[in-house]
Structure 1
Amino acid sequence: MLTPENFINEFKRFARLTQDTNLTYCQNLDIRSIEFGFRDFYQLQHEFPNLNSKQAWAISSRLMRRLCAIVEPDSNKVFYIFTIEKARPSHCSYHSMWAGDDKDGREVRVPRRVYFKRLEYPFPVYVIENEDQFSAWRCDWFGTAYLSPEIAEKYFISAFLHRARVVTG
């Protein structure tokens, strides 16, 4: 869950990314606040820190989900693409590449690094760059996500360990 300070910063980031050019920045903050159940941005700033943890989690998760679905990270950054299905949350799949063969001649596949490109999909694709976003995606949203290397290698380490099974020669 986001701390109140991080929530406000992420909320402002969301408002900038979804800025209506016919409105001022402050008006846009108020409109976005209404979307999250607050009267205006002033109320959001003052009431969010006082919400119970369940309410704060629900609002934080909604904000992060919307933000991760629209954010455009630096095109020079690399990511891994992982998918977690809601029907099978303990199972993940990933875009992979061939790493070699194991001692029994079976192919070994490992996660493949890709550069981010926001394409049109019939489903949301999230960009996960920190642990708060990762927790919300893995526990609440599910679906397909571009994961930063730090997050992917930390939380899906078993996918990367397959490379050790490759034999040379």
Structure 2
Amino acid sequence: MAFFAAARQGRRDDAELGTGVWRRAHDRFRRGLDRYHQILEGVDDDDVYNELASLANELAQLLPRVRAVCVAAQAQSPSDGLDIPGALLQVHRSLSRAGNAVATTAEAAAMARLDGERWGIASAGLENVRRRAEVVAEDVVEAERLLSGAS
């Protein structure tokens, strides 16, 4: 059953996001978010886990916003290749930064997990994860702002 659901989702993604840069930007963000959630599985300390899970929830709430920006960008400037539509270059740049930032946040969470084993909730790594999650949110807000200004 999961195979058919994935196939339907893939067709829906193709229809809404295309197969070009907007789809890639969305998928990059989603993969980084998935990686962050995978890292949570290895956290032993409950306090560290709760803090990282709270940040995971905040990041997950950004995915529908990223998707909305990518769908709107595809509707405004369709892309089926690797060329970034010039009118929305800055939107793509912000989405790319958000995707990279969520991946970096996942890396910071992995380090915080290891640091948390020694220091627990007092780990300095948790503050690093918080700061990186803020950067992700700022990039998504910037992409939304730029897209609304380009309309």
Q: TM-score range by the shorter chain?
A: under 0.3
Which protein has greater RCO, CA pairs closer than 8 Å, 6+ apart? 2
Higher share of residues assigned strand: 1
More helix by share: 2
Greater Rg, structure 1 or structure 2? 1
Q: Normalising by the residue count of structure 2, what TM-score does the alignment of the two structures yield?
A: 0.27
TM-score, length-normalised on structure 1? 0.25
